[in-house]
Structure 1
């Protein structure tokens, strides 16, 4: 509990620092940041929908459809839906909508199914984990895209899987 308390304070401190930084932006800078986020979401969605994507089926398909239904929902650290999400909150909520219970954190979700190390073997709806400490997760969307809740100030959106250091996928 002591260690968790320390980690919680550390994360809360980082969030407070990030909020201070956001609050220090001028209205013009804030508008430019929002425009960049909106453009990234539109571009990613257009890229995800171009080309062929393998269709998802079964519970992965249901989870992916649930995640698609909340595109545009804001990222909020620790949120598990239905109106806001963090990365692992989105994936656990999406699979819950498909009737599948998976752990809440990205690190625990990394062990929730069968690992897939080659991006070419990923199927729509597979979990995809990023960064060496596995602190970020999303759902594979096909066509080299991931559907995820990226970070504070952004919303649930499609993004290229190559924009983050891919570690492996997990098939539930």
Structure 2
């Protein structure tokens, strides 16, 4: 549940097909399509529909770690032009949409990763807090800091 709105469509039972973006390109070696980032965000959305995050349920530390892992795998699978670490910037000056889309994809991915971790930041911790909760809080802080860094 994002923006505090209930889900209207049950995405689990809906069948969507990713569009073929090859029609927008002249060859396989050129820059990404101007619509590639939408398709990539859709893939991220498909990953999230399999989790409790979109269904407004309480997220356990194990589920939170699973969501982080899935999103990290998705980040690592991004095309070279959108890669977080050492992106292919050869088209950045001629196709101005690519850097914007790259930053957008990174911000969306880490905001999504941060979402299930928020409750670990607001929870009151004391000596009786589980080690698992403390580790989740530490990871939530790391994600928040990284989100701030990529937002700049």
- Fold match by TM threshold 0.5: no
TM-score (norm 2): 0.31
Q: Which has the higher helix share?
A: 2
TM-score (norm 1): 0.28
The structure having more radius of gyration, on CA atoms, is 2
Q: Which has the higher contact order (CA 8 A, sep 6+)?
A: 1
